[in-house]
A and B are shown apart, each in its own frame.
Chain A
Amino acid sequence: MIPTQMLKGTLEGCILGILSQKETYGYEISSQLAAYGFGTIPEGTIYPLLLRLEKNGLVSAAYRPSELGPRRKYYSLTPAGEAELQQFMQNYAELSRAVGNLLSALKGDTDHE
């Protein structure tokens, strides 16, 4: 399981990524994250993040009827959210490269010993 602290900074970007595929709702986001290997992230963790993204104008929400309940809140990416996602992808690639470099250097050191 990925520690919550480590997940914190990236979860918002990942939600934007999932929403860029198609508009969807809280539980579906949680299931997709689980399918991508994020582990169990309850809807309750995602909802406050969605509120923040909505407040900052990165996603927009609309209520639609569903087959299970009387109504479901669907979220979709706004143009600002699209731009934020591009930024996240760049930042994350940079982080991933840096951590990767460090880890492979460590691995190289132990290999030579």
Chain B
Amino acid sequence: MNKTTKQLLEENDLREKQLSLENQKLLTDIVAYLRSSSASTYQQELVHRDILDMLQEGEARGQTAREIIGVDFQAFCDEILAELPKRSMKQRIVYGLSIVSLTAAVLISIWLVFSLLGVSFQGRPFTLWLPVTAGQLLGGVVIIALAYGLVEYICRTSFGEQNRTRLQAISFLVCIFLIFLLRIFLQRPLFYLHAGIAAVLIAVLFVIYKVTDRLES
């Protein structure tokens, strides 16, 4: 995100800690719900700040969140979101690119470290040409997809208390199981990637992340 948005976000997070614990928890749910919308992070944070002001002032008057906001928190958020401008197609592409490039950079880094450890300790002649298996490739895609699916789900249902930890546990187990399956059955190397090329790829992805993140508002 750009500098203004980042500053606003940090300021909001810092101020949030001055609220009562109950209101902090509620505001976390509200912000999570706003995050699942297609409004830009900057717009979300402007609203975040307004609600923060509202709750803080209400607390000072001795009002509860229900008295300040009303009984239906999700309806409150939906009414707000209906008034916020949505991200344009271009903004959405930039946002998606920033998320995917960062995740891919992290996953390739992990792969690189483990592959290098693998070739160093397997006793075979050392080479910087590292095998990429179909399992690793598919596993990476599955991890990214599941992680974002899960985050999206948690954000959208942030006002429903039930089953959240159970859902997290189930997704985690499904993830582990899938990765195991992929690792066992798809062990055959698809191609070999030189460690140097991988390092360059990580750097390029990181630059893409940095640039798109700066562009995103």
Binds B, one of A12-20, A67-75, A88-96: A67-75
Question: How many residues on A have C-beta within 8 angstroms of the other chain's C-beta atoms?
Answer: 18
Residues of chain B lying within 8 A (CB to CB) of residue A38: none
Within 31-70 of B, Cβ neighbours of A (below 8 Å) are at: 47, 50-51, 53-54, 56-58, 60-61, 66-70
Question: Which residue from chain B places its CB closest to the CB of A42 in the assembled complex?
Answer: B70
Contact A43 B69 (CB under 8 A): yes
Per-position binary interface string of chain A over residues 47-87, scored 1 when its CB falls under 8 Å from any chain B CB and 0 otherwise = 11001100100000000001011111100000000000000
Contact residues of B between 149 and 187, Cβ < 8 Å to A: none
Question: B128: shortest Cβ distance to chain A, in Å?
Answer: 56
- B22 interfacial contact with A, CB 8 Å: no
A41 nearest in chain B by CB position: B70
- Cross-interface CB contact of B57 among A44, A47, A68, cutoff 8 Å: A68
In this assembly, does A101 line the interface, its C-beta being within 8 Å of a C-beta of chain B?
A: no
Give A65 Cβ to nearest chain B Cβ, in Å: 11
Whether the Cβ atoms of B83 and A55 lie closer than 8 Å is yes
- Tell yes or no: B82 within 8 A of A by CB: yes
- CB-based nearest A residue for B60: A68
A48 touches B76 (CB 8 A): yes
- Residue from the list B60, B61, B80 in contact with A47, Cβ < 8 A: B80
A82 to B58, CA, bound (A): 30
